[in-house]
Homo-oligomer: A and B are copies of this chain.
Amino acid sequence: MIRVVIIGSGNVAQHLIKAFAKNNIVEIVQAFSRNKENLTNHIYSSKITTDLNGLIDADLYIISVSDNAIAEVSHQLNLENKLVVHTSGSIAMTDLNDKNRKGVFYPLQTFSKSKEVNFNEIPICLETENNEDYKLLETVAKSISDKVFNINSNQRKALHVSAVFVNNFVNHLYKIGNNICNENDIPFEILQPLILETANKVSLLSPNEAQTGPAKRNDSQTINSHLQFLTDENQKEIYKMLTKSIIDNGKKL
């Protein structure tokens, strides 16, 4: 079994611990958390340490803490020439401390505590300094996911920015749709099939081919009537900017 230590207790750390639990290739031999209670639902209490200097020997150390803390935590590790990776989409591999071998193990997904995820379907993006470490990391990743990709730090940054657009920003547009429904006594569930269809569509058509609606048609009458309907200035501004972007994009083709 490949011996792995998880350092951190947030959403990603918890989901990783759960995913590896059903695994006969990887064993989580230890997890670090400042507060033991964060992890006691996910791993035996005896395997949790609250002392960063008390990490035991392992083949792989996965740092899964907030982006701002990764460099510092990697600096504080009382280890030498071990394979130490982080799970962040936006931090370069080189931000890890030089005393250990560096790598990245980035599961590209959105994790909420209250929502189960199927790790099999989650793409995991890997990067290491050398081939041998890559092979180990790949074995670990493939033990929980069917979709493992070799992605360098610059590509990972691009992916993370893209993910902000297709996840955080998309979810914010869902929220605006939800608000408009609430204000007009319309059940948000009416929009669910449209939301799912829109998401499903772009696995068959490119987003460019899939586009429909008043902006795509440059239908100024409908656009103006929507702008008159909206009373929230912020919603109005977002409507204007995205409509202009769709129209300008159409002109480029």
Contact-residue bracket for chain A: 35 or more
Bitwise, A190-217 to B at CB < 8 A (1) or not (0) is 1111111111111111111111111111
Bitwise, A49-78 to B at CB < 8 A (1) or not (0) is 000000000000000001110000000000
Which residues of B are found within 8 Å of A209, using beta-carbon distances? 112, 114
Query: Could you say which of A183, A203, A212 has the most chain B C-beta atoms within 10 Å of its C-beta?
Result: A212
A173 at the binding interface (Cβ < 8 Å): yes
A125 at the binding interface (Cβ < 8 Å): yes
- Chain B residue with minimal CB distance to A160? B226
B112 lies within 8 A of A210 (CB): yes
Please tell me which one of the listed residues B121, B163, B169, B225 contacts residue A191 in the complex, with CB atoms under 8 A apart: B163
A151 lies within 8 A of B198 (CB): no
A35 at the binding interface (Cβ < 8 Å): no
Bitwise, A218-253 to B at CB < 8 A (1) or not (0) is 010110011001100010011101100110110000
Q: Known: A158-B229, A190-B159. Contact between A171 and B198, CB under 8 A?
A: yes
Q: Known: A164-B213, A197-B110, A237-B241. Contact between A172 and B207, CB under 8 A?
A: yes
A25 at the binding interface (Cβ < 8 Å): no
- Chain B residue with minimal CB distance to A244? B234
Question: Which candidate, A79-87, A96-104, A134-142, A174-182, is the interface stretch facing chain B?
Answer: A174-182
**Beyond A159-B184, A161-B226, 17 extra complex contacts between A and B, CB < 8 Å:** A90-B225, A108-B194, A110-B194, A121-B193, A147-B190, A155-B185, A159-B190, A162-B177, A166-B195, A167-B213, A175-B211, A178-B208, A192-B202, A195-B199, A196-B199, A199-B199, A238-B242
6 of the cross-chain contacts (CB-CB < 8 Å) are A108-B190, A149-B190, A164-B215, A174-B207, A175-B206, A199-B200
Q: Give the 10 A-B CB pairs with smallest separation, nearest first.
A: A168-B213, A199-B199, A175-B207, A158-B184, A162-B177, A174-B207, A166-B177, A162-B180, A169-B242, A165-B177
Chain A contacts to B: CB under 8 angstroms: 11, 66-68, 90, 108-112, 114-115, 117, 121-123, 125, 147, 149, 151, 154-155, 157-178, 180-181, 183-187, 189-217, 219, 221-222, 225-226, 229-230, 234, 237-239, 241-242, 245-246, 248-249
